[in-house]
């Protein structure tokens, strides 16, 4: 149908009148009421020079069938010698925390097994780095680079972060180069995730992807609040649940790595359990009460000397509320050896204050007969330290014939790496798990390079 020109012009003007307002709102204004539109760019210009990209090269031992380790077996079946190691490469991120000394904090898993560590700065300089120290239990590592024209990130005040605060994650995802994502703090004090040995994590929905590990989580002032470490994902991609190590926790670990080359953790000497609603009711405590229940006390430990008892419920440590067993274990594990602690405890419904002083884990060898739980009776156990920092555990040195430990399938040379899903680094930690006489215990044991679970009966 052909319309007269005047009608077509009227329709055109009407269409333009409708379209122009849409076009106007689709264009971001340069200012609102004379003020510039908010932007993170000025803050990021100050902060991004303090975040680096890390590339590593190393060697990792290849786990093989024990039969392939037998030279006779290989000769008999004409199996050629196979390399027991393979070359590895990884990409990650790091944060400059001390420009004057060239110190960079990152994740332990970024530099694990690394023989060569290269750091790329924001200005495209590539520097060789040396490893200062690493702590697999908190996934924190410190490396050092030449202290030339570096920018360190300022630290946020401890405990200043709140749920709902806006945060920005900076890192090197998928090796693409420095990338920035934003979100909010979804939760604080996440524990019991099984990601780290000691967990007190920040949860955020800022996108964190492979390669972001070791990078910075900063607030809108550009202050460091966390070190990005992991994501929760069923398929390997980001679904808006990322985790970061609190900056003050990472710095506590870093200070010990710088001073001692390792983390010398405090030891309380108690087996812990969450205070769930059924236990709270049994103890006569109010509904909704949270805390950590002391199941058993290791004889002669700091807990024993302080007068703590099985059944005590710890509700705060040094003024900080304790909501779970994992939270108490983490806070004790971050204390220096000899440091005093003040515990608020509920005992038979009454609140009381208990002073203790955490002790070092001095035990290096123990007999299974000394545990209240008899399921390792007949075994002699020692601290184990393999060639790598992450190769620690408890080695079984002797097993008496016909003993309970022998009946449970343990043999000399076995390395116990986990007890009840808890990674072990020494016999003192195993003693904590074995402190309760009737507790069921499941070990993960490494034998000739092959690992298996063993339930002690």
Catalytic residue numbers, as ranges: 109, 139, 213
Residue 127 neighbours by CB under 8 Å, 6+ apart: 118, 119, 121, 145, 146
Residue whose tokens read 């710890």: 314
The Cα–Cα gap between 211 and 137 comes to 20
Nearest Cα to Cα of residue 99 among 154, 53, 140? 154
- Cα-based distances in Å from 412 to 66, 261, 371, 399, 405: 16, 31, 19, 6, 10
Q: What is the DSSP letter of 389?
A: T
Nearest Cα to Cα of residue 111 among 137, 136, 86? 136
The Cα–Cα gap between 246 and 193 comes to 15
The Cα–Cα gap between 421 and 194 comes to 8
Look up residue 8 and give its two tokens.
């077509």
Cα angle 43, 45, 51; round to 5? 100
Nearest Cα to Cα of residue 90 among 116, 129, 55? 55
The three-state secondary structure class of 259 is: helix
């Amino acid at each position: 149908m052909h319309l007269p020109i005047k009608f077509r012009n009227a329709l055109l003007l009407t269409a333009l009148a409708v379209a122009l307002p849409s076009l106007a709102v689709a264009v971001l204004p340069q200012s609102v009421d004379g003020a510039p539109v908010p932007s993170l760019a000025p803050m990021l210009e100050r902060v991004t020079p303090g975040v680096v990209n890390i590339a590593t090269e190393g060697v990792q031992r290849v786990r093989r069938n024990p039969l392939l380790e037998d030279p006779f077996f290989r000769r008999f079946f004409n199996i050629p010698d196979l390399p027991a190691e393979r070359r590895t490469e990884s990409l990650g991120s790091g944060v400059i925390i001390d420009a004057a000394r060239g110190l960079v904090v990152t994740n332990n898993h970024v530099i694990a097994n690394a023989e060569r560590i290269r750091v790329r700065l924001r200005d495209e300089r590539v520097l060789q780095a040396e490893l200062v120290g690493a702590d697999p239990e908190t996934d924190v590592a410190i490396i050092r680079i030449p202290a030339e024209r570096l920018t360190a990130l300022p630290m946020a005040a401890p405990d200043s972060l709140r749920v709902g605060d806006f945060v920005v994650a900076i890192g090197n995802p998928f090796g693409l180069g420095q990338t920035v994502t934003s979100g909010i703090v979804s939760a604080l004090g996440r524990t019991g995730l099984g990601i780290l040995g000691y967990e007190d994590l920040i949860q955020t929905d800022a996108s964190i992807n492979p390669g972001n590990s070791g990078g910075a989580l900063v607030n809108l002032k550009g202050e460091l609040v966390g070190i990005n470490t992991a994501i929760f994902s069923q398929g390997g991609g980001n679904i808006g649940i990322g985790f970061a190590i609190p900056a003050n926790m990472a710095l506590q670990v870093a200070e010990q790595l710088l001073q001692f080359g390792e983390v010398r953790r405090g030891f309380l000497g108690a087996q812990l359990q969450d205070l769930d609603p059924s236990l709270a009711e049994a103890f006569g405590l109010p509904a909704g009460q949270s805390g950590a229940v002391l199941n058993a006390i290791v004889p002669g430990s700091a807990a024993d000397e302080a007068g703590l008892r099985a059944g005590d419920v710890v509700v705060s440590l040094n003024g900080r509320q304790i909501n779970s067993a994992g939270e108490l274990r983490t806070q004790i594990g971050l204390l220096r050896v000899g440091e005093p602690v003040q515990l608020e405890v509920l005992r038979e419904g009454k609140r009381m204050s208990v002073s203790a002083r955490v002790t070092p884990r001095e035990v290096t060898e123990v007999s299974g007969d000394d545990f209240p739980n008899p399921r390792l009776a007949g075994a002699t156990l020692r601290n184990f330290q393999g060639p790598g920092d992450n190769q620690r555990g408890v080695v079984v040195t002797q097993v008496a014939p016909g003993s309970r430990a022998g009946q449970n399938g343990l043999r000399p040379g076995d390395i116990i790496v986990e007890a009840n899903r808890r990674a072990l680094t020494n016999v003192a930690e195993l003693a904590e798990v074995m402190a309760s006489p009737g507790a069921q215990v499941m070990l993960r044991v490494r034998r000739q390079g092959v690992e298996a679970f063993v339930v002690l009966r």
